[in-house]
Amino acid sequence: MAVFSYPGQGKSSAIVPFVNYWLIKTEAAMYSIDDLARDKRVPWTGIRNYQARNFIRDGMKVGDLCLFYHSVAEPGIYGIAKVASKPHADLTAQDKKDEHYDPKSTKENPIWMCVDVQFVKKFKRPVSLVELKAERELGGMLVLAKGSRLSVMPVSERHFKYIVEKLVS
């Protein structure tokens, strides 16, 4: 939480949630923005990369907004999701039948974390990877970096707002 004071209101101030911004990746064939629109809220499981896990564990807070990115087929940003829970253990890692089962994960040391994500909106039109790359304003976005393979990564407020307020509206 961060304290913001509003100009013109003397000494008054208000506590408002401090929002972080993220980009979460998925293959549409596996789980798409339409699937999230249908399900409304799901645990974002299956992240098996330590750097991505650390972003989830150490950075994600309820209310954070996520660009919803489809990789591989027609790559681009398709909408927005919201972090709807605190980070918690990803139990699919302890499920032998799950495709993301990890024998190193135990009840005592779950290793892998996830948050619940909630559907916010699907863009009227997706912002393709080609379009993202063409925007000078978006230079430095992690997802555009060569070799960027993280499935969860932070996004700056400036980049987030440029995409949502300038590119898709």
Q: Applying CB under 7 A, which of residues 2, 15, 130, 134 lies at the interface with DNA?
A: 130
Binding mask 94-113 for DNA (x = CB under 7 A): ----------x---------
Binding mask 22-51 for DNA (x = CB under 7 A): ---x-x---------------------xxx
Core vs surface per residue 100-128: b (16+ CB within 10 A) or e: eebeebeeeebebbbbbbbbeebbeebbe
Q: How far apart are CA 125 and CA 82, in angstroms?
A: 19
Binding flag, residue 126, DNA (CB under 7 A) = no
Q: How far apart are CA 89 and CA 105, in angstroms?
A: 10
Core vs surface per residue 11-40: b (16+ CB within 10 A) or e: eeeeeeeeebbbbbbbebeebbbeebbeee
Binding flag, residue 147, DNA (CB under 7 A) = yes
Of 10-18, 35-43, 115-123, 145-153: span binding DNA (CB under 7 A): 145-153
Least Å distance between CB 104 and DNA? 7
Tally Cβ neighbours within 10 Å of residue 54.
12
Least Å distance between CB 148 and DNA? 7
Binding flag, residue 168, DNA (CB under 7 A) = no
Least Å distance between CB 41 and DNA? 22
Maximum separation of any 2 CA atoms in the chain, in Å: 59
Q: Which residues bind DNA (CB under 7 A)?
A: 25, 27, 49-51, 71-72, 75, 104, 129-130, 133, 145-151
